[in-house]
Structure 1
Amino acid sequence: MKKIILIIVIALSASVVSVAQDDDAEKGNGGRLEALKIAYLTKKLNLSTDEAQKFWPIYNQYMSEIRKTRIDARQNKEGEIHTEEKLLNIRKKFNGEFNKALSSEKVNTFFKAEKEFGSVLQKELMERRLQRMENRKPFRQ
């Protein structure tokens, strides 16, 4: 398990620099980041073929609504609390949809893994930024 997480982190490292330069996930390397997220979720959920066939179309709808809500919130300069409330409502709605495709245990694992992925990505971005800052400092003897 640790090896898989390490592989994902290494793969993230390769794409994080360019993703960090482009805040809009719809441009640039958002596709690569989404592919890494899908790989991470696939491993965490350990889906059977039947589960995967049911799960991924629902996941794609879910992500479409999440993206649309975030884009709308940015464009309309909505408050953070209001946006988070909308996102929570989407998660609640899709919790029921995901339960049609997966066991409630796997649905719970999905939501946890999605949050974990965000944390892993954030940590990697932070480490990259710190590395760049350290590399910029002039060498003193």
Structure 2
Amino acid sequence: MKTYKQLLIILFLLSIPVIAQRHSDEKSEKIKALKISFITTELSLTSDEAARFWPVYNVFDDKQFEIRHLKMRSFKDKMSDENLSKMNDKEAASLLAEMESSEDELYQIRKKFISSIKGILPPIKIIKLKKAEIDFNRKLLQQYRDKGQNK
């Protein structure tokens, strides 16, 4: 009987990360849907433009996410107070070079993305896209701030 209870507890504890991941995935999908709706509205995309634009944008956004969240997360870990206090100049120079490389990679994929959508959207909508991305991120951040203050 004791083994059965232990097994139930272990199964419960193992299921927590799965539930948390599912919740996180649902939030990410909801945010992505809101972003698509927001950008489509702000750019006044026609159905033809949207059909050609979104596949290209999604590939770009996924690459950008990968760089920002996966690589930058490793930088954040390396820049903890504990790690920084132990870091020597050689390690710091190496980390700085990695960070510069990631920033350059972000710049290059954005440049390639803009080049690839020039045949899909007129220049004014490309400019509006940048503004819409900034506005969406600000709006999202403000909602999180407001939600945090209401707790």
Q: Name the TM tier (shorter chain).
A: 0.5 to 0.7
Which residue in 2 is equivalent to 1:61?
Answer: 59
Which of the two has higher C-alpha Rg?
A: 2
3-state SS of 1:76 partner: helix
Indicate whether 1:95 and 2:93 are aligned: no
Q: Check 1:84–1:123 CA distance in 2 against 1; reply closer, same or farther (3 A cut).
A: farther
Q: Check 1:66–1:131 CA distance in 2 against 1; reply closer, same or farther (3 A cut).
A: same
Distance 1:99 1:26 in 2: 34
Describe the superposition over 1:38-94 as per-residue Cα deviations: whole angstroms up to 9, x where unpaired. Answer: 000110011112211210111111111112212331453266953444323221221
Distance 1:103 1:26 in 2: 35
Question: What is the TM-score of this pair, normalised by structure 1?
Answer: 0.67
Instruction: Answer 1 or 2: higher relative contact order, Cα 8 Å, separation at least 6.
Output: 2
Indicate whether 1:107 and 2:126 are aligned: yes
Q: Check 1:29–1:51 CA distance in 2 against 1; reply closer, same or farther (3 A cut).
A: same
Residue 118 of structure 1 and its aligned partner are, at CA, apart by 0.2
Which residue in 2 is equivalent to 1:116?
Answer: 135
Distance 2:67 2:24 in 1: 13
RMSD: 2.4
Q: Check 1:44–1:87 CA distance in 2 against 1; reply closer, same or farther (3 A cut).
A: same
The structure with the greater share of residues assigned to helix is 2
Unpaired runs of at least 5, structure 2:
1-19, 76-94
Q: Check 1:26–1:61 CA distance in 2 against 1; reply closer, same or farther (3 A cut).
A: farther
Task: Give the fraction of aligned pairs with identical amino acids, expressed as a percent.
Answer: 28
Distance 1:129 1:84 in 2: 30
Which residue in 2 is equivalent to 1:70?
Answer: 68
